[in-house]
Amino acid sequence: MIMYSYLIEHDLGLAPNPFGKYCTLAVCKSEIRKSKKLSVGDWIIGTGSSALEETTKKRLKGKLIYAMRVTEKITLEDYWNDKRFQYKKPVMNGTLVTMYGDNFYHKGIDGNWIQDDSAHCMTNGSCNPEHLRKDTRGKNVLISDHFYYFGNMAPAISKELLGVCHTTQGQKIVTPAELATAFIDWLTSNFQQGIHGDPLNWSEYNPNQLSLLL
């Protein structure tokens, strides 16, 4: 078992997308999503960053935004077509949950990627080529039905376990393995699986727009 750790700069319910039965990582973090080292049963955790603190005005360093055990890994194309994940296709005039759906990449008849209207498009709904390039480079979607999403209820990680946190851009594999195991023990002993809070950056919206799916 390995554990990838990274700093979350934006928490909008997009990456990860924790809604419904599954927590999914379908966009951003392309290096993790395409990693040949990552297998079903491995873990991914995201912790608070300076950038997230700046936008939310909250102290978030050393706090856990989410953790997921990867229970499935499929291609972006299979994700688009899988009937289980149709609810994750964005509805841009819907609730915040549907606006930040992460299932919006598919290939046209010419074999090129299409980016449907989504949170990664330009403001007028047209394709954002930079996001398209980075997102599709990830190749895979990581899926979990065993996850802990905290968002604005992010708990402080136990002091003796802070070594799991990454401190720069990118990601790291948590070492030694005993530290990752101790972190999982702490997590599973203290928290129930599922959604515990709203995405942190939703605080920028009007409260009556919030729609938390539990």
Please tell me the distance from the alpha carbon of residue 83 to that of residue 154, in angstroms, as a whole number. 31
Instruction: Say whether 208 sits in a helix, a strand or coil.
Output: helix
DSSP string, 80-122: HH-GGGGGGS--TTS-HHHHT----EEE-TTS-EEE-SSTTS-
7: β partners: 47
Residue with tokens 């873990």: 43
pTM score of the predicted model: 0.93
Name the phi and psi angles at 91, rounded to 5: -125, 100
Please tell me the distance from the alpha carbon of residue 7 to that of residue 123, in angstroms, as a whole number. 26
143: β partners: 24, 72
CA-wise closest residue to 200 among 98, 59, 92:
59
Instruction: Give the model confidence (pLDDT) of 139-187 as tens digits.
Output: 999 999 999 999 999 999 999 999 999 999 999 999 999 999 999 999 9
Instruction: Give the model confidence (pLDDT) of 95-133 as tens digits.
Output: 999 999 999 999 999 999 999 999 999 999 999 999 999
